[in-house]
Structure 1
Amino acid sequence: MMNGLLLQSPMAFAALCAVIFVSLLSVDALSVERTLPPGWTLKGCYTDNVSSRTLAGSSFSSANMTVEYCTSFCRSGGFSLAGVEFGAECYCDYALQSSGILANTSSCNEACSGASTELCGNGNFLDVYWNGTPPPTITPQTGTWKYSGCFADSPSSRQLPNLQTIPGGATVDSCTSACKSQGFGLAGLEYGQECWCGSGPLASSISDSSCATACAANTTEFCGGSNALLVYQDSTGQVCLSSTLSSDFNLAAVYATSHITGATSVPLHVVIIKTILKISWSVLTTGEGGWFDFVKLSNAGLLPVVGSIREIKTASLTTKPGDSPMFITTHIPPPAVGPYCAMANPMVHNGPQVLALSGRNDLWALCPNSTAGNRIDVVYSPVNGHAHYNKADCKSVYITINKI
């Protein structure tokens, strides 16, 4: 009877087929759902990609993947976020990384490889679940150190160049303590476990969300991110304001101790001490006889210049602790090196900026050079047993930058 009816009415047959298809589709749609394991809630469907994971902690994949399997794995590792992707992948973290963007729930519509009745994200889409544990936070202050911002970083151009090895792993407190012990005014945490120190200056900051990797040693606080440095500044430390100054300046040594009698400061000069063919070497000293009238600061290097003969090119050379700042003059000098920078005056509020080398402005001294008629030379961090001076005769100074 049915066959006869269908044969007699093609339209009725098509209609019946459509009803059956819709019914089956509805049953299938209802059979696949997002499971909520006990204690976990769905945060949403987020974008993801191989180069920058939305959940960057532990991960694994399995042909038996389910939402319960993934959340159990993440919970066992202490993570508060779990995400399923591409049907068979599981990712964990303490916080969502900045690369993840909330997407429409319909984008996460692939069945789990271990349970066809559950949804496990999709290709480059992640179903994220949360167990209610508060996420890590940015520590605003520890001791004299205050949060300064999140800054882009890279292995080829470090914002803070001095890596610290910290037993037990880096935290905000352990990193800032390590940097303070080394005399640095800036401390930065990266990749959740690295600690870097320096004095700046720093490039422009980026969004705090880029520094959202929890500290491996303390998952309640953030420790930077991938190529992103969470930076703290010591209110009592030494921080570079600039490694380049647009105008020329003169330098002067200001005695750091109050018991000095007579003048409290003395002008400094760049004086030529040796010339061979077309190459000259000079030193920073109080002595007269120099023909360099001004100094420039450019890209952390010092460039003495002659006011009336600008074509003469002079550049600073590397200065080690115990030595005087040296300069070379030649037709094509090498790039000026330091690293020099300008810092706030530690003696006079709003006074002229002071010159720092390797992040320190308090290691300068004036020392009588016994091999040059007791000429008073500038020395960086005097040492015992030096061939040209007696450390006991050196006087501690700050070097002020006096703009013209």
Structure 2
Amino acid sequence: MPSVRHHQVVIIGAGSAGISVAARLRRSGQRDVTVIDPASRHYYQPLWTLVGGGRASMGESVRPQTSVMPGGVRWIRQTVMAVDPEAREVMLDHGGVVSYGHLVVCPGIQLNWGRVPGLAEGLGQDGLSSNYLARTAPLTWRFIRDLRAGSAVFSMPTGAIKCAGAPQKIAYLAADHWRRTGRLGKIDIHLVLPGPAVFGVPEFASVLEEVVRRYGINVHYGSEVSEVCSDAKEVIVTDLASGTRSSLAYDMAHLVPPQSAPDWVRRSGLAAADDPAGYVDIDKHTMRHVKFPEIWALGDAGSSPNSKTGAAVRKQAPVVVENLLAALNGRAPTASYQGYASCPLTTARDKVLLAEFDYSGRPAPSIPVIDTMRERRDMWHLKRRGLPFLYWNLMLRGLA
């Protein structure tokens, strides 16, 4: 029988959600906080779009995990294989078992490259890349920079993904680069989107529609890339309403894989039975599991119907901590997350449309006086410098 270690609060995942919650718990005086994650590096992934667009270096996005782990937190550097919510135990890859008083589940999202035939095999070669991997984000910029003429394809998959604006942000960065270098008229740009509009909030969609017109981008609404034929340098695009398949040639392509919660979440019974993506089944306001009151979730692996962004995590973490502390003290949770998310959409190499919204599906601006309903250069500086500073120096320390 494997040995069992018990901890009052166990956090699965040392990404932005896990580290933020751990830091806030420590600041609140909690002594027995354990984080489980095997990763030795911590990434600020929102910067990867700028890496792929040639506006930032990969080195700026990464730091040693030890440098962001809060003091006094026990760090178990292993991989979670399963959770037994009835026994309140977490099973690890080396055979160990950790029991918990309360469990915070925030392992991030799973990138399902294999669900698009040919994507994994061709990735990183002959113009095909994705900003969703650290090793291929720099290649995106190389392929954009090297393209002189031809066809460029950018795609977004169906279902929830982390940073849903990222698939089109890189299209605009690339188009603006080609415009500035006099190549835009020689490149046929395609943007494949699964929804009926370029963005889910109409006020921001109207701005982005003008951006699309400005660059002459061909948008394939209600469609997704369903197969990659890298030898022929073409993708198969499926119309989601009719099922019709058509081929689209590319000289450069940026593709994004379908995404879901990690497989072990569904196997552990933490997801709703009717959720094919397997996200942790939580109350969208309290972030508490609907069936197991000692389990909480936030970030990309939670079922709350917000956009999966770092800004959402920043608003969720205080709610989870406040409600968890209340539960530890025998009180009902009263803190409520209202679905806030923010997507700083890079519409040019020096402009950003700061899209902020909540569960209502309406704009939810957080910066007084400034009109964020249009493209702005000052929001570019916020995206490029301000938000990374906030992340490394305040958010991960439980201060913002």
Flag whether TM exceeds 0.5 (same fold): no
TM-score scaled by structure 1?
Answer: 0.26
Structure with more helix by fraction: 2
Structure with more strand by fraction: 1
Structure number with bigger Rg: 1
Higher relative contact order, chain-length normalized (CA < 8 Å, sep 6+): 2
